Amino acid sequence: MSNRVDVAVMIGSSVPACLQSMGARACWVVLVNGERRGTAFATREEALACQSAWIELLRSGRAA
């Protein structure tokens, strides 16, 4: 099965309260096969790093 790992942006009320309290109006999340994995990230760069880690994990066959 081919896995898809995407980074998606969440805007406005979809942003978790902890990030909203810091003034964030947008955040990024990682989706694996359309399902959110892990936390919301304050920066796109953090989400892209997590995306890379997921891709490597899935390639190695160690993902559950």
Position 32 scores a pLDDT of 97
pLDDT in tens, the chain (64 residues): 689 999 999 999 999 999 999 999 999 999 999 999 999 999 999 999 999 999 999 999 877 6
CA dihedral sign of residues 30, 36, 39, 42: positive
Position 63 scores a pLDDT of 72
Position 35 scores a pLDDT of 96
Position 62 scores a pLDDT of 78
Lateral strand order in the sheet of 5-11: 5-11, 26-32, 35-41
CA separation for the pair 64, 20 (Å, rounded): 32
pTM tops 0.85: yes
